[in-house]
Structure 1
Amino acid sequence: MPNDLIHDPNGGMPRLLEIMRRLRDPETGCPWDIEQDFASIAPYTIEEAYEVADAIEREAWDELEGELGDLLLQTVYHTQMGEERGMFSFDSVANAISDKMVARHPHVFGDESRDKSAEQQTADWEKIKAAERAAKAERGTLDGVAVGLPALTRAVKLQKRAARVGFDWPDTKQVVDKIVEEANELEEARETLGEAEVKEEFGDLMFVMANLARHLNIDPEEALRAANAKFTRRFEAIEEKLAANGKRPEDSNLAEMDALWDEAKHAEKS
């Protein structure tokens, strides 16, 4: 029966769970898969989540199904390892998130009214999450913000938590003023201090930039991904223009490439 399931193209979730169980079988499984643990698989989990986000951002809908499958495999991988250690199973993981969603949506699954604003729903959501953190003995305002998040995302989450208890600038101008202050401190450190101090000041500047993004209701990771994509498009346009003249970037110079950059920028905006 297991072999029939593994080769069943319509086997769905049971098929995937059985495939992972077989891959991890200590006697007949794949040596590479058997050697893995939570820590070694975690980077792949993060990578697959980003590839899902990338497909969505590019509107590559023909790729999204496959990327979601890759991400689902990561959950299956972790739950198989958890089951081997007697920690949890796929069913218990699914039940845990189901319980959480029901508890966090009393206006859908409970007796509360759905007749409330989005702002009120957000406030209610935060109250429920605060109660959950208290149940986990997370007493500090910043407790429970995952250390493994991308640094910019974690900065925003830390700042949001602090803002809930009143530790926040009241308007954007003060954030911009702080950016100027931190930029000046970075320049001063670069001129007079060592590498460690320069790195620290650069981190401070990045942290305040994340704060500005939060005040502007911008996801800094999303904004930086867009900037990366824009840089890639424009630099590729430079390479194409140079190639049309039988040249490569290393055969050019900054002045020529800068002019081609401006052309690419103008072409995009027009």
Structure 2
Amino acid sequence: MADPELTHDPMQDLLSIMARLRDPQSGCPWDLQQDFRSIAPYTIEEAYEVADAIERGNLNELRDELGDLLLQVVFHARMAEEQGAFTFSDVAAAINDKMIRRHPHVFATASMPGVDEQTRHWEDIKAEERAAKRADGDATAASAIDDVSAALPGLPRTIKLTRRAARVGFDWPSPHGVFDKIREELAELEEAWDQGEGDQARVEAELGDMLFATANLARHLRIDPESALRGTIRRFEERFREAEKVLAGRGLTMEDASFEQREAAWESAKRKERARQQEADA
């Protein structure tokens, strides 16, 4: 197979390049060895790298990372086409149809809703789609919490599951009930730990309950828990590095310093962070 002839259509060029990479006679050995399962971790990784570029506000990197993520879509679509399942055009057509169907206020005669109303309407349409699947005999669409991907990380999957449950009335009426639940779960976790480290399974279960309740609280507060956690991680990294610098200025390393010295360096790092934030806000 000859090298793909590049056109003025970047999307078509990308499809041609992927076809060339997957050519059984002259393609790339690594690309030819891949299947849906082996590529899936890369797809997830690229999605996280897109999120990281957004968090850091780096639009040049965002452009590149979006390209990497698009490549993953093209890769999966190419493998499906080779099996006669569907093509990239089928993927694009399916999402086009879905977006038009889920936005009647844009593409049909429905009135323009507010953001909250639009979110509820979006969920109503998805519920109708699941009901249609059940009517067609799809056994995978029998519950209000079906088709929430098990491959999702824990925090976003918790949000999706509890949001679905809330739509059928299984929810606290306000965040106060979730605050109480977190306190309850924390007490049960502490009790499990105090009764001995031997029952590690119970400690793990209680910790999971507390994390689940915390993610559910984020939903009530309209905060993305993954984004909130990533922000905390970023601040921890910045403070830790600054604390290392503070200790180094005193001729110490993190390993050599006493607990009190490490705490003092950490507080110093936090003060510097607050001062930088105040300058940025001024």
Which TM-score band applies after superposition, normalised by the shorter structure?
over 0.9
What are the ranges of 5 or more consecutive residues in structure 1 without an aligned counterpart? none
Kindly indicate whether the alpha-carbon contact (under 8 Å) linking 1:2 and 1:18 is maintained by their aligned counterparts in 2. no
CA distance in 2, matches of 1:23, 1:245: 56
Kindly indicate whether the alpha-carbon contact (under 8 Å) linking 2:4 and 2:17 is maintained by their aligned counterparts in 1. no
> What's 1:22 paired with?
20
> What's 1:118 paired with?
115
Q: TM-score, normalised by structure 2?
A: 0.90
Aligned residues with identical type, % of pairs? 54
The answer on 1:180 being equivalent to 2:208 is no
CA distance in 2, matches of 1:89, 1:247: 60
> What's 2:142 paired with?
139
Q: Which amino acid aligns with 1:167?
A: F
CA distance in 2, matches of 1:153, 1:14: 33
> What's 1:167 paired with?
170
- Cα deviation for residue 184 of structure 1 reads 1.3
- Cα deviation for residue 247 of structure 1 reads 3.5
Give the stretch that moved more between structures: 184-193 or 216-225.
Answer: 184-193
The answer on 1:256 being equivalent to 2:261 is yes
Kindly indicate whether the alpha-carbon contact (under 8 Å) linking 2:178 and 2:217 is maintained by their aligned counterparts in 1. yes
- Structure 1, residues 81-135: CA drift from partner, whole Å, max 9, x if none? 1111111100000000001011111121112233x32222222211111111112
Counterpart secondary structure, 1:29: coil
CA distance in 1, matches of 2:229, 2:246: 26
CA distance in 2, matches of 1:24, 1:109: 38
Kindly indicate whether the alpha-carbon contact (under 8 Å) linking 1:5 and 1:11 is maintained by their aligned counterparts in 2. no
- Structure 1, residues 32-65: CA drift from partner, whole Å, max 9, x if none? 1111111111111111111111111110112111
- Structure 1, residues 190-216: CA drift from partner, whole Å, max 9, x if none? 232611111111111111111111111
Aligned in 2, Cα 1:120/1:104: closer, same or farther, shift over 3 Å?
same
Q: From 82, 85, 94, give the equivalent of 1:84.
A: 82
CA distance in 2, matches of 1:188, 1:251: 34
Aligned in 2, Cα 1:40/1:73: closer, same or farther, shift over 3 Å?
same
Q: TM-score, normalised by structure 1?
A: 0.94
Q: Which amino acid aligns with 1:65?
A: R
Q: From 228, 234, 239, give the equivalent of 1:234.
A: 239
> What's 1:103 paired with?
101
CA distance in 2, matches of 1:25, 1:255: 62
CA distance in 1, matches of 2:2, 2:9: 11
- Cα deviation for residue 269 of structure 1 reads 1.6
Give the stretch that moved more between structures: 117-126 or 74-83.
Answer: 117-126
> What's 1:218 paired with?
223
What are the ranges of 5 or more consecutive residues in structure 2 without an aligned counterpart? 135-140, 276-282
CA distance in 1, matches of 2:253, 2:133: 58
CA distance in 2, matches of 1:255, 1:164: 50
Counterpart secondary structure, 1:249: coil
CA distance in 1, matches of 2:253, 2:33: 45
- Cα deviation for residue 2 of structure 1 reads 5.4
Give the stretch that moved more between structures: 77-86 or 122-131.
Answer: 122-131
> What's 2:59 paired with?
61
Give the stretch that moved more between structures: 157-166 or 242-251.
Answer: 242-251
- Cα deviation for residue 246 of structure 1 reads 4.2
Counterpart secondary structure, 2:5: helix
